[in-house]
Every structure is written in C-alpha cells, then in structure tokens.
Amino acid sequence: MAERIRVARIGAAHGIRGEVRLWPFTQDPMDVASYGELESEDGARRFTIEALRPAKEFLVARLSGVADRDAAEKLANLELFVPRERLPAIEEGDTWYHADLIGLAAVTEDGLAIGTVTAIHNFGAGDIIEITPEEGAVLMLTFTEASVPKVDLEAKRIFVLPPTESE
C-alpha cells in the first residue's frame, strides 16, 4: 500500500494575489485543508493551505509561500500528497483509497487473469476502473458492485465481471 496518498492537483493561477485553482481528490473536497502540510511528489516542496473556498468547478486556495500570480503560475499541474498516516482509517466495507487499488491483479470469479488495475478515473458520473491486460486493449469498467463484486486487498486482487460481447 502507498505510503503517501495524492490528495490534490494544483491548476492554473486564480487572480493576481497568488491564489491557485485546486482540484482535490478527497471524498469531501474541503477536507483537503484538514490534512496539514501538503507536499510535491518528490517531497521537495511543501505547502500549507492558508485559505480555501469553493468556486464553480474547483476550489480556490491560498498556499503558504505563494504571494503573487507569477509564483502561482509556476505551480500549475503540481500534484500534492500527504503521508498516509494523516488520513482517516477506512473501516471494513466498500470504501478504499484509490492508491490501494492501483497495481492489484484483476481476475474473473473463475480465477482467469484479466490484467492489472492501472488507474481509477472519475469524470463526474462515478468511478471508472482502468484495467490493462498483458495483451490487447485497456478495459474500462464502472467501479460498482455489479462489475467489481469483490476487492481483496490482502490477496492483492479484485474480482471483475467483464462486459459480454453484446454489451
């Protein structure tokens, strides 16, 4: 399991005072400010969210050490992470951190290998799980109990019901 979890991505600068557009990857978007200091993937840059407010399709954040538009523009597309231990524990059930699913083997209920989970996407209508097979085209499935009836983190695999040819 991942030691650090990606919780947000910085977008474009917002205004002239150093604010940035922020896309959180947390269940409640505003929770991104509650995890303390955020860091770049390599750990070289660290930020504290000093102010956060919702906008139409993103959040607007004022980050420590970012005082003007030029500094904000240099942060565009920067991914932000926190150490896993700062995140709340997940109770047993139907909730997982996406980072825990990446790399799991995808198999049918009969044990036939389908591929490996390479990404989880959400384009606004629910999670989509991306499975990359050894050969052939990438498979995209809705991440619902109907298409992914079981996730077994201990065995490092998910069970999937791939669509039939008529679907």
- Which structural domain, as residue segments, surrounds residue 22? 4-86
Whether residue 51 is found in the same domain as residue 113: no
> Number of folded domains in the chain?
2
Phi, psi of 150 (to 5 degrees): -150, 135
CATH number of the CATH domain containing 107: 2.30.30.240
Domain boundary among 38, 65, 86: 86
pTM strictly above 0.75: no
Residue in the block written with tokens 């970012």: 66
| % of the chain with per-residue pLDDT over 70 | 94
Residue tagged 């003007």 (tokens): 68
Q: Model confidence at 93, in pLDDT bands (50, 70, 90)?
A: low
Single residue among 66, 86, 106 that ends a domain in this structure: 86
Question: Average pLDDT, whole number, for the chain?
Answer: 89
Clarify whether residues 81 and 102 are in a common domain.
Answer: no
For residue 117, the model assigns a pLDDT of 95
